[in-house]
Structure 1
Amino acid sequence: MRRLPSLSAQIAACGLLAALFASPAAAQRTYMPSGPSDGYGGSSTGRVPDRTPERYPEPRRPRPQGYPGGGFPGPGIGIIVAPPIYDAPPLRVIYEDAEPAPSRPARKPDKQKQKQKPAVAKKPPPASPPPAKPATTARPAAPPPPVRAVAAPDYVPDEVVFELKPDISEAEIAGVLRRFALTPLARYDLALLGTSIQHARIPRGSAVPTVVRQLAADPRVASAQPNLVFDGQADEAVAPVAGRPELAGAQYAPDRMKIPEAHRLAEGRDVLVAVIDSAVDPAHPELADALIDPDAKVKPHTHGTGMAGAIAAHVKLVGIAPEARLLALDALRYDTTGAAKGTSIDIITALDMAGKRGARVVNLSFAGPRDELMARALRALRLRGAVLVAAAGNEGPKAKPLFPAAHPDVIAVTATGPDDALYAQANIGAQIAIAAPGVEVMVPAPGGAYQVLSGTSLASAHVSGVAALMLQGHPELTPAQVREALVRTARDLGKPGRDDLYGAGLIDAAAAVAAASEAAATTPAAASPEAAAIR
């Protein structure tokens, strides 16, 4: 008969088993899969998949205290429980359409300029310090005046934009691309600036600021910068609704701006307004016959359609300049949430097209970081006689000024509501020139529908419409004269006189149109580049 282990041996064996199962490391090894660490005590190849959207990454949600995937807090024997899988934080949807937000539309390849759409880096969290601004060597012949410091850069993580020096040969251009291992995406000849710019992708693993500095130091390169990202500035949306005959009665904005009185004097007839935005719905009844060269192939977006309608709607809604002509320049695209985002290269080429087509008013309902090349393009457009109007931004009163509204050649517009109260998310500061309605504004939506939007984007579009009214009868007015009339006739809000919240106050369209007539009758055309360009 086989002898059983002694009682003391059995007790010792049980103790060893208890110690083994009580070990946190053993418990963790029993569950956790192998693979590189993900920074949270887990594995990047384990049960917590990376659900980050490819084009607009979001930070992972921190794991709560006591999360079981990192090992058990103390000794003991128990059932090993697999940890829950946490989804990525929900994306903030800016526009809420009747249908799910469409995917980013694919642009038809251009045979002459093969352009690939970038992935876009996420803005750094507000609490983190902004990254150092990339150095450039942009030395335009007539540099624009200084612009106030603006928000930290947000740029495409693997792309750069650089300006070539005059008379550079194709061999030298190829040498620049080869030296920095850049993949060319497209090259543009900008008539507005009299220069050429190259759009390129940097090598995998390279840092954009580093490549920008290296490019700027190359003797064949005039300037270099990241491909910065800009956002449409309409933050809130009500689901689009079918057209109703009483929609005009839901509009408070025309009365607050005295549009009915202004329309007795002008309706913006044949004034060309460039709308640099996301795609506009050319088939919407509110925009019938308003768009020149409409592009029916591009899927329309709520933001661009809304801004165009705020300016020129003329069926069931009261647009500010219902007889203006709109040049819709598709520079903003969908991101993964359906929001409108654009990059430096798209916006600068749109500004160049606005200059080629002779736009007298340019609406810029987007905002982002300061862009050196865009600053030069804005200055060149103003010197050609274009009135530039931009959204102040929806980052809140504690945010830094945003661009292009912070550019001195641009009329920065903030938003107010039905009671003239300031929009809660509006940026404030010395750059604010004037205020206009921008809270819960009824505008067209794609597919013949209507929507209610809020944000400084709407306010900018309203001021662009008023500028068109002023220029209808007096196309000889310079951008400076238009700005002066708008500011002088505004109705003061807030503290007496100009302030950083409302600027000069709420726009008064009727008074501004009358002031334009007075300026044209009493003030000779200034001997300025703007006046010369208009003549």
Structure 2
Amino acid sequence: MRSTIAASLAMVLAATPAMAQLALPGAGDTLGQVNSRLDGLLEQGVNTTRKAVDGLTSARIDRLAELVRNNRQAIEFDAENQPARRGELLLEGADSAAIARAEQAGFVVIAREDFQDLGLAVVRLAVPPGAALAQAEKRLRKVLPGVTISSDQLYFASGNVAAGSMAAAPSVPGGTAASTMPVRIGVIDGAPGPSAQVAATQGFARGAPLASNHGSAVVSLLLHAGARDIAVADVYGNDPAGGNAFAIVRALGWLLTRKVRVVSISLVGPRNAVLAKAISAVQGRGMVVVAAVGNDGPAAPPSYPASYPGVIAVTAVDGRNRALIEAGRALHLDYAAPGADMLAANAAGQWKAVRGTSFATPLVAARAARAVADRGAKWLLALDGEARDLGRKGPDPVFGRGLVCGSCRRTK
């Protein structure tokens, strides 16, 4: 499936990390063509090769470099060579003496925020004037050994919504009345369009809430799967550095105050020490976190937040229940769900072709919410009971513990 497929996948994947921020053209227009091409190659039995896996990895590196190059005023690479908000670092749990030492070293406090429900206190620091983020981060770690320090790394949508024409379908269901699932579900993404009525939407980025095709698609799939009480945290807006770790932490804190029981996160990025603490905190308060493994291929670095302990990591299958070749990986894998050969609603309320692990994630989140509503603390056993074993017998690194919500795919 590989070297030839890699070229085709580039059309799908080229915009993936940046689409919510840069709206790079081209990927959506070719989505249907790519699906057909992949199907044809798979039918021909084309052998997988390492070359294509390397191609996916190279495409990811190129996309991140382009993202930073096109947004130099807002984004730069950190000490781990990951895109992050330019000129800012995050401290968690630093006492006044530690903050004073940072200030003596030339760092400036931008803001302090206590997340009482999360048990976290985060300080945003501006790096010294003229200092590169990567070098400033290394310097601060020497100044404050033992303190939790991270850059404000970026997280990216893990799927694409097709452009082009398609007849509009009826508006997706919405509203807060007559819920078929008495558990509130949270979404961390872009905001949905007006046709997808949700219980609450809150912005955590410049210009947010701002309707996006990706966020709309995720919400429409939740609604299609029976969810009604949905709270959406928009971490993108129109901010070039949207989708950052601090925005996601703030979103998690807000969702906790909204009594969200299950949160769907179709975003991927690197391990981040501050975000890891926030994820652990909401889990400790009973929130189930469901996250996508991304679309950068099996050779990509493990995706987060899917790789954090206890997070439900989700991959995707096509219309024939074959694992998507571009599906990424996490340190563990829990379930697969439909993520291609299906439709979801864009910001205008039109049902369009979608592809990616992004769109499998809300389906699993919806089923997890149903399991929480029906079985309480034994929700995971209920979800395992629903999962249909695919691939080799038993749990495996391709499909996890099986296919969930297999009948949830909308094709017309």
Q: Pick the aligned partner of 1:119 from 61, 66, 74.
A: 74
Instruction: State the match for 1:216 in structure 2.
Output: 141
Cα distance, 1:305 vs structure 2? 1.1
1:396-454 CA-partner distances (Å, limit 9, x unpaired): 12222111111121000000111101112101465111100011331121133332211
Instruction: State the one-letter code of the partner of 1:234.
Output: G
Does residue 320 of the first structure (1) align with residue 203 of the second (2)? no
Does residue 455 of the first structure (1) align with residue 356 of the second (2)? yes
CA change 1:496–1:213 in 2 (3 A) is same
Cα distance, 1:378 vs structure 2? 1.0
Q: Pick the aligned partner of 1:497 from 391, 394, 412.
A: 394
CA distance in 1, matches of 2:280, 2:76: 28
1:27-426 correspondence runs (5 A): 94=27, 119-121=74-76, 133=80, 153-166=82-95, 168=96, 173=99, 175-176=100-101, 178-218=103-143, 222-235=147-160, 237-239=162-164, 241-244=166-169, 268-281=180-193, 283-284=194-195, 287-288=196-197, 290-292=198-200, 298-312=209-223, 319-322=224-227, 324-334=228-238, 341-426=242-327
Helix, strand or coil: the match of 1:239?
coil
User: TM-score normalized by structure 2?
Assistant: 0.72
CA distance in 1, matches of 2:310, 2:157: 20
Cα distance, 1:187 vs structure 2? 2.2
Instruction: State the one-letter code of the partner of 2:218.
Output: M
Are the counterparts in 2 of residues 154 and 369 from structure 1 also a CA contact under 8 Å? no
CA distance in 2, matches of 1:221, 1:401: 25
CA distance in 1, matches of 2:319, 2:383: 20
Helix, strand or coil: the match of 2:200?
coil
CA change 1:186–1:464 in 2 (3 A) is same
Cα distance, 1:490 vs structure 2? 1.1
CA distance in 2, matches of 1:457, 1:154: 20
CA change 1:385–1:297 in 2 (3 A) is closer
Cα distance, 1:355 vs structure 2? 1.8
Instruction: State the one-letter code of the partner of 2:89.
Output: V
Cα distance, 1:267 vs structure 2? 6.5
Cα distance, 1:93 vs structure 2? 5.0
CA distance in 2, matches of 1:161, 1:297: 22
1:206-225 CA-partner distances (Å, limit 9, x unpaired): 23233223333445983211
CA change 1:92–1:400 in 2 (3 A) is farther
Are the counterparts in 2 of residues 292 and 326 from structure 1 also a CA contact under 8 Å? yes
Instruction: State the match for 1:74 in structure 2.
Output: none
1:102-139 CA-partner distances (Å, limit 9, x unpaired): xxxxxxxxxxxxxxx971236xxxxxxxx864xxxxxx
Helix, strand or coil: the match of 2:383?
helix
Helix, strand or coil: the match of 2:209?
coil
User: TM-score normalized by structure 1?
Assistant: 0.57
CA distance in 2, matches of 1:486, 1:269: 15
Instruction: State the match for 2:366 in structure 1.
Output: 465
Are the counterparts in 1 of residues 161 and 346 from structure 2 also a CA contact under 8 Å? no
Cα distance, 1:96 vs structure 2? 5.9
Cα distance, 1:158 vs structure 2? 2.0
Helix, strand or coil: the match of 2:76?
coil
CA change 1:432–1:223 in 2 (3 A) is same
Cα distance, 1:509 vs structure 2? 7.4
Alpha-carbon RMSD across the aligned residues, in angstroms, is: 3.3
CA distance in 2, matches of 1:203, 1:240: 50
Cα distance, 1:188 vs structure 2? 1.4
Instruction: State the one-letter code of the partner of 1:159.
Output: E
CA distance in 2, matches of 1:220, 1:357: 36
Are the counterparts in 1 of residues 395 and 402 from structure 2 also a CA contact under 8 Å? yes
Which structure would you say has the larger Rg?
1
CA change 1:353–1:298 in 2 (3 A) is closer
CA distance in 2, matches of 1:448, 1:402: 30
CA change 1:271–1:429 in 2 (3 A) is closer
Cα distance, 1:469 vs structure 2? 1.7
Cα distance, 1:156 vs structure 2? 2.7
CA change 1:297–1:232 in 2 (3 A) is closer
CA change 1:432–1:334 in 2 (3 A) is farther
Instruction: State the one-letter code of the partner of 1:468.
Output: A
Q: Which runs of 5+ in 1 are unaligned?
A: 1-55, 57-89, 98-116, 123-130, 134-151, 249-265, 313-318, 511-535
Aligned-pair identity in percent equals 27
Instruction: State the match for 2:54 in structure 1.
Output: none
CA distance in 1, matches of 2:180, 2:368: 8
Instruction: State the match for 2:63 in structure 1.
Output: none
CA change 1:119–1:216 in 2 (3 A) is same
Q: Point out the structure with the larger helix share.
A: 2
Matched residue count: 337
Instruction: State the one-letter code of the partner of 1:162.
Output: L
CA distance in 2, matches of 1:301, 1:236: 10
Query: Which range moves more in the overlay, 205-214 or 375-384?
Result: 205-214
Instruction: State the one-letter code of the partner of 1:424.
Output: I
